[in-house]
Amino acid sequence: MSQHQPLNRRVITPPFLVLGVLFLIAVYYLGVRFVNGMGFVTNLNGGYAWGLWVVYDIVIGTALACGGYALAVVVYVANKGKYHPLLRPALLASLLGYALGGIGAFIDMGRWWQFYNILLPWHMNFNAVMLEVGLCVAAYILVLFIEFSPVVLERFGARNLRQKLNKVLFFFIALGVLLPTMHQSSLGSMLIAMGHKVHPLWQTLYLQPLLAVLTAFTMGFAVVVFEASLSSVGFGRPAETPLLSGLGKAIVGLIAVYLVFRLGEVVVQGKLGLLFAGDLGSLLFLLETALFIYPLVVLLSPAARCNSRLLLWSAVSMLFAGSLYRLNAFLITYNPGPGYSYFPSVPEIMVTVGLVALEVMVFLYVVKRFPVLHREERR
Amino acid sequence: MKRRDFLKASVGGAAAVLTGGRVEARPNLEPAPNAVGMLYDAALCVGCKACVSKCKAVNGMAPVIEGDWYSWDSARDLSKDTLNVIKVYRDGEAQVKDRVVNGFAFEKRSCMHCVDPGCISVCPVTALRKDPQTGIVSYHADACIGCRTCMTGCPYNVPQFDYNNPFGEIHKCQMCNQPGVERIDKGQITGCAEACPTGATLFGTRTALLEEARRRMSLKPGESYSYPRGDVRHPDSRYAREAPAYQQHIWGEKEAGGTNVLHISAIPFDKLGMPPLGERSHASISETVQHTIYSYMALPAVVLGGLTYVVRRNMNDDEGDES
Ligand code: SF4
Ligand code: SF4
């Protein structure tokens, strides 16, 4: 008997229908995008080649989808089996988040009908960070699916297949740790080539990959903590606080390392003055840093780590911190030069909202029909 | 190896590479041996936009009309219909040419045909290529996936995507040498240099243009100089004119690894909207970091091997845990 089971509740609920409507609105605008062109739904221009779709759906979305990655590292590499109950929902959220990133990349791709060129060796440019991101993300979506497939096989009682898969699963789990490390760091490296367009407080050149991986990790853990606390509230399941508090410890370490590099770079490169310039860049930097420091300070105390409310707040703070870091670097303080400005259009926003709605709908459906959540301890 | 040791080693190694600690840095690329380019002298430009018009004739592009007063073309910036544009600097009353305060000046914007181009470095599918002889940076729509990374990687915002077309592509100056035009291969010069009445846009090899630019740098303000038109190596004609007070700065000699299109001016380049660039190309930094991390895929393979071993061990430990 498995330790996981479906929630077995009604799928079609009023919130589900609202999400469905949001998704249909996105479908409409996507129709316009593919029939008339991207210019009819987005505010992209000659200076801002990337807008909400790239920065939210891919750059931030995949980091938010690092829960599966972060937990896989803890469960399998660091051999902390007790976190197992959290792994399946985290994997599912990761799979959906990355799928959203993949869809986002595709709809944003100006010449989508030639996307396969990125898979043809004679077209590949191994100097391009984007090549690595594209291939790695695509491969990782497949790996996530394989990692998650035991759940599907279990649901349909395919015992034989499942046993066969179990024999090779370790390889995919290892891949599932390697691939995100590669492309999450590359998402940071992508900023290097943008040079002067990236605000000096975010243009850390050689540190870009490290900062990107560290924030991906913190966001991954934060998402796990967030989802677990939320699903215990939302579905009225017992809290997994003891497990989560252990993650809290890891989070403290990660943020500490991140802040040392992040602030150290500012000091060493003589950019301290920019911090107190009082302009948008300095304010955003301070806000972002404060959002990182809050969970650090809170989770430092062992008592707070067992308090599910504080845990939830810390997770939220970290999610905002990591998202803001990427949003600031890629979009808000990004400055291509005089004459250009960008703010996402309503259709652009609705497409992203609709895709997230789809993600949530699929998540709800799968946890209600597939053995994803851990069997409740008591009862 | 014990798991602990392995973890320590791999974390240490990963930290070293993630911060770009090892592997030699890739320097800026060098100019192509027979690099051709242009020299734009902002002080000579009278803003007539003959070059803009000629460029559109050569490339079969429509004029862009913005506002109600225009001559020929009033494009304000590069776009899918404009590969070459003349921009205006204006301050206060805008009375005197090439003066920072209460003055005005012109500046040309088009592909600089960088020596170490950001656009080429970042394109995942090699849709932007540099001719090994002429150094001309060309675009190949059959390879392009439309990711627009080239737009983010170009310090001058040159590549322009045609957003209002469901099958849009990138548009940029290809120095009049794209298939079907091939002016350079046929021994002609670029359309804009041919059309320029003042010689403000001059065609030639990068070497010859650099020499010409240096000669102009050494002129005393007010000194008479015989300015060439067309091709600097064998000008169509020359005319005498008093030299302006040039800024001692040849844009593109060094900026981000240098460019084949050079600019000189009588007012500082930041006033003309040129970006703040150092001498090192960001392409070279980006590639150094990328190749350091991947060291040609060896490192990820090693890490994967280690991870596989560790994961396998730990999964076996968990055996009793599973159903
Ligand atoms: S100016 Fe921009 S588009 Fe032209 S070669 Fe340089 S990087 Fe490429
Ligand atoms: S838009 Fe085309 S040319 Fe530009 S980087 Fe992407 S694939 Fe390359």
Beta strands B237-242; B96-97: pairing state: unpaired
Q: How many angstroms is it from B182 CA to the middle of ligand 2?
A: 22
Cβ atoms within 10 Å of A113's Cβ, excluding its own: 10
Measured between alpha carbons, how far is B303 from B322 in angstroms, rounded to an integer? 26
Our CA dihedral for B178, B118, B148, B263, rounded to 10 degrees, sits at -60
Q: How far apart are CA B89 and CA A320, in angstroms?
A: 41
Cβ < 6 Å from ligand 2: which residues? B 122-123, 125, 127-128, 144-150, 159, 170
Q: What is the rounded average pLDDT of the residues A105-112? A: 96
- CB-side exposure of B299: number of CA atoms within 13 Å? 22
* DSSP conformation class of A23: H
Higher local confidence (pLDDT), A93 or B76: A93
> What is the Å distance from ligand 1's center to B147 Cα?
16
How remote is the C-alpha of A299 from its chain's centroid?
Answer: 22
The CA distance from B109 to A205, in Å, is 27
Selected for mutation to probe chain B from A170, A179, A190, A375 (highest B CB count within 10 Å) is A170
At position A73, the amino acid (one-letter code) is: V
Question: Residue A188: what residue type?
Answer: G
**Residue A173: pLDDT band with limits 50, 70, 90:** confident
Nearest by CB to A111, from B169, B300, B322: name it: B169
Pairwise CA distance, residues B11 & A200, whole Å: 28
Instruction: Specify the higher pLDDT residue, A336 or A161.
Output: A336
Domain range B36-116+174-279, its CATH number among 3.40.50.1000, 3.30.70.20, 3.40.50.300, 1.10.4000.10: 3.30.70.20
Predicted confidence (pLDDT) per residue in A273-327, tens digit: 998 888 999 999 999 999 999 999 999 988 888 777 888 899 999 999 999 999 9
pLDDT value at residue B323: 34
pLDDT bin (cut points 50, 70, 90) of residue A377 is very low
Q: Are A81 and B317 within 8 A, CB to CB?
A: yes
Structure confidence at residue A205 (pLDDT): 92
Buried b (16+ CB within 10 A) or exposed e, B140-176: beebbbbbbbbbbbbbbbbbbbbbeebebbbbbbbbb
Amino acid residing at B64? V
| ipTM rounded to 2 decimals | 0.91
Give the residue-averaged pLDDT of B24-41: 91
* Mean pLDDT along residues A24-36: 97
| A39·B164 Cβ contact <8 A | yes
Residue of A nearest to B117 (CA): A193
Spans of all domains in chain B = 3-27+283-322, 36-116+174-279
Q: Which residue ranges form the domains of chain A, and what is each CATH number?
A: 44-342 (1.20.1630)
Closest CA in chain B for residue A54? B147
Condensed to tens digits (0 to 9), the pLDDT of residues B150-205 reads: 999 999 999 999 999 999 999 999 999 999 999 999 999 999 999 999 999 999 99
Q: Which atom of ligand 1 is nearest to the CA of B173?
A: 4
Q: B157: CA distance to ligand 1 center in Å? A: 8
Q: What is the pTM of this model?
A: 0.90
Alpha-carbon distance of A65 to A76, in angstroms, equals: 18
| Whole-number percent of chain A with pLDDT over 90 | 62
Shortest CB distance from B289 goes to which of A131, A166, A206? A206
Give the tens place of pLDDT for each residue, B292-323: 877 655 677 777 777 777 777 777 655 444 43
Task: Answer whether A177 sits within 8 Å of B18, measured CB to CB.
Answer: no
For residue A143, the model assigns a pLDDT of 92
